[in-house]
Structures are given as structure tokens and as C-alpha cells.
Amino acid sequence: MKIAIAGGSGFIGNKLTKRLISLGHSLIILTRTAENKPPLPNTRYVEWLHNKSNPSSHLENIDAIINLAGESIGRQRWTNDRKASILNSRIQTTEELIDIISKLGKKPELLINASAIGYYGNSLTKTFTEDSLPVDKGFLADVVRRWETKASLAQSFGVRTVFCRLGVVLDKNEGALTKMLLPYKLFAGGTMGSGKQWISWIHIDDVIELFILAIEQHHIKGPLNLTSPNPLQMKEFGQTISSVLNRPHWLPAPSFALKIALGEMSTLVLDGQKVLPKKAILQGYQFKYPELTTALENTVKNP
């Protein structure tokens, strides 16, 4: 297939790009500047998101578009400006992709839009699947819903559209796990907040393979939860890190301290949701890392 990727140089994009190349796909990486980009087999770079770019002229006969673009939600404290940037980075890039699709004579068969389980809101008691309705309207939930609404416009052009709702992605070099491991490595790990909040996690290798599943299974459309089938509450999650690293789990981080330190962004560690990958399970997908212990052992102990 001929596949265009927005956000192809990011955390997930890098790994997905390599996997798609290994499967023999032809790639176009949409980027703000094509200069000094590393050469990749069967891949070319096309500039977009500035006045002189004309990406649609390079995307005729494209089979699929994958949208991974958007600023990190956990990099900085959530000021009003930062929140606006998080939202706008997602809405603007998605609007641009919809505009590109509208200009193409031959429409792509598929748009995969990265999304997040934040769509469902937070709950200590509910279990969410792709069939679930959201429970509240916090900042992250609002961002995801507006993002998906914008991406869903592709359906009006007859494009199969999939929303890959990502949980907490476990990777040894990037993402939330590196920050979660640090206190344990310093012998200062412990339960964050109440410990009752759910962590719906997933190993990076399963993330990549579920994107492949969405590409190859043509009947998959709408939301697709990218989470392990075995979410855990924060206390057990931390205890598992402690066991794998052989470090103590003893020093709690109370909710009030995290709220002071992180502000509104503390919701990322103090709140959560129990999300199950119902569609992936029904498709018969076999998770490489369905249990946290083996996922952490692979992530932490492999060089």
C-alpha cells in the first residue's frame, strides 16, 4: 500500500514507520521541512502546514493516511496557552488532512486518526469499551471528542475512518513509563494518589501491531481501543514496577502534593479509567504483552 503519515517522526510514528517499511509498504512522511531528514527505504518526505507547501499534489493515488500529529500532553504544566496549543495542534493538522482528502481525485481508502482513551472521561467504577458513552467533560475528554469529530469528516468522502484510542504506552525510552520508573530507581517509589485509579496501559509493540490490524482488517471502523486486556489500579501497577526493578514500594505521593506540583495536569496520574480492547479481542488479536509483569520485564530489562 501507499501510505501517508503525519507525525511520522514522533514517539509512535518512528516505530510504526519502520514496521510498515518492513512489511513492504511505500510511505510518504508529511513534515514541516524535508531538509536533513534521515533517508529511509521506500520513503519520501513531503512538506505541509506552511504557505508554500502543496501536499495534495504529492498524494494522488494514496491508499491510506495515518494521523499521529499533535503536541505531547505531558511535557509541560497546563497553562491556558499550553492547553490551547495541545488542542490546536490536533485540530489544525486534522483539518489540513481533511482538506487534502477533499482535493484528491481518488480518495484514500482509509484514515487512521490517533486518539486517546481520555475520550471516556474518568471513573473508579466503570469499565469502558468502544461501545461506551463518555462520563464527563474534562479538558482531555473535550480535546479527544473535538479531535475525533473533526477526523470523522473523512467519512463524508467515503473514507473508512478509525480512531485509535491510545492508553498509557509503555516504552523503555519515551512516554510516561520513564517518569514512572524514576522514583523506584531512586529507591523512592510508592503509590501515587489514592492508588485506586485505573491505569489502562499497553506495550509499544502491541500499539504498532494494532495499527497494522486497523490497516489490514477492512471492516474495522470507528473507535479502536489500544489498551492491554488487563488494566490495573495504580497501587498494583506501582507494586509490579517495584517487583520487576527489585526496588521498594514505600514512599507514597499524596494527591494534594501532586496537585500542587503539577496543577491541572495531575489528572494524568490521579485520575484514570478502566478501558478494555473489545474490538481487538473480537478480531482474535493475540497481545504480545497482555500482562504488566512481562511487559515491564521486556521494556525495562532489554537493552
d(Cα 175, Cα 27) in Å, to the nearest integer? 25
**pLDDT at position 258:** 82
How high is the pLDDT of residue 124?
A: 93
Between CA 234 and CA 194 the distance in angstroms is 8
In the prediction, which pLDDT does 22 show?
Answer: 97
In a domain, 303, yes or no: no
pTM of the model: 0.95
Indicate which CATH number applies to the domain containing 135.
3.40.50.720
CB of 46 closer than 8 Å to CB of 23: no
Structural domain of 183:
2-298
Cell of 236: 498494583
Positions of the chain with pLDDT lower than 70, given as ranges: 303
Report strand pairing: 201-203 vs 168-170.
Answer: parallel
221 assigned to some structural domain: yes
The residue to which cell 503539577 is assigned:
262
In this prediction, residue 174 carries a pLDDT of 85
Identify any residues that bridge with 169 across adjacent strands, giving them in sequence order: 202
pLDDT at position 268:
86
The answer as to whether 109 is a domain residue is yes
Does 118 fall in a domain? yes
Cα dihedral 197, 203, 207, 209 sign: negative
pLDDT of the residue at 23 = 97
Give the type of residue at 267.
T
Number of domains in the chain: 1
200-231 pLDDT tens trace? 999 999 999 999 999 999 999 999 999 999 99
